[in-house]
Chain A
Amino acid sequence: GDSVTQMEGPVTLSEEAFLTINCTYTATGYPSLFWYVQYPGEGLQLLLKATKADDKGSNKGFEATYRKETTSFHLEKGSVQVSDSAVYFCALSPRGSQGNLIFGKGTKLSVKP
């Protein structure tokens, strides 16, 4: 079945460092891909998405490109801030799905000043 694999955490970075969180997926057809972020004590919120191959999603300085040839959707940010400390989830929604998401296990990011 469809699945999402993302890099294990936790990830600890210094402020202004470059961030990459790897995400690969297995799916039939052409799923939509998402990154959600969960700040401490809160629910998840959408960070960015891409709905077709070669699309780039971006928001708040974060970017991810839908790469069908490598089945990947890696999250990147050029300069992280302490306020970016959170858990990041990669997710896919299969083609034909009615909105259901399949999530990766999450990657906890801690940014130190």
Chain B
Amino acid sequence: NAGVTQTPKFQVLKTGQSMTLQCAQDMNHEYMSWYRQDPGMGLRLIHYSVGAGITDQGEVPNGYNVSRSTTEDFPLRLLSAAPSQTSVYFCASSADRGNTGELFFGEGSRLTVL
């Protein structure tokens, strides 16, 4: 009963380093997305995907890349980390491709960029 699994849970990077946040879901959901959560800002959408091979930008996509080669996995890549990318990142998935469905969230990945 894994649901949405994110790794790593914690990561510290230096400015300019690259890394990938992993997200996997075992519910066969077509829709997946990445959000970042910052104090006093709520959650903001970074990128999303409505199926394998299809991705699109959200509200704050700059500095992040995504790909969706399988239904299960949706990794988020930081190519050159910046202190402004210090945040908690949440991956979410949904079985519903419309606007009425429930999003299932992972437990989050806390990233600090020095």
A103 interfacial by beta-carbon distance below 8 Å: yes
**B42 near A31 (CB under 8 angstroms)?**
no
In the bound complex, residues from chain B placing their C-beta under 8 Å from that of A32 are: 99-100
A32 to B35, CA, bound (A): 19
CB distance from A64 to the nearest CB of B (A): 15
**Tally of B interface residues using CB under 8 Å:** 29
**Given A43-B90, A43-B108, A44-B90, also A99-B40 (CB < 8 A):** no
Q: CA A32 – CA B96 in complex, angstroms?
A: 13
Set of chain A residues within 8 Å of B104, measured between Cβ atoms: 45
| Nearest CB of A to B38, in Å | 10
Assembled-state Cα–Cα distance A101/B100 (Å) = 10
| Binary per-residue interface labels of chain B (34-48) against chain A in the complex, 1 for a CB within 8 Å, 0 otherwise | 010000111111001
- For the complex, give the distance between the alpha carbons of A4 and B59 in Å: 14
Contact pattern, A 33-45, Cβ under 8 Å of B = 1, otherwise 0: 0001000011111
**Nearest residue, chain B, Cβ from A6:** B42
Task: Please indicate the chain B residues that have their CB under 8 angstroms from the CB of A41 in the complex.
Answer: 107
Instruction: Give Cα A41 to B103, complex, Å.
Output: 18
B53 contacts partner chain A, Cβ-Cβ < 8 Å:
no
Q: Would A31 and B105 count as touching, CB distance under 8 A?
A: no
A43 and B106 in contact, given A100-B48, A104-B42 (Cβ under 8 angstroms): yes
Q: Say whether, besides A99-B50, A99-B94, A105 and B42 are in contact (CB < 8 Å).
A: yes
CB within 8 Å of A: which B19-65 residues? 31, 33, 35, 40-45, 48, 50, 58
Q: Is A73 an interface residue (CB 8 A)?
A: no
Contact B42 A106 (CB under 8 A): yes
Q: A49-B100, A105-B41 are in contact. List 11 more A-B contacts (CB 8 A).
A: A31-B99, A42-B107, A43-B4, A44-B43, A44-B105, A45-B104, A51-B100, A97-B98, A98-B48, A99-B33, A99-B50
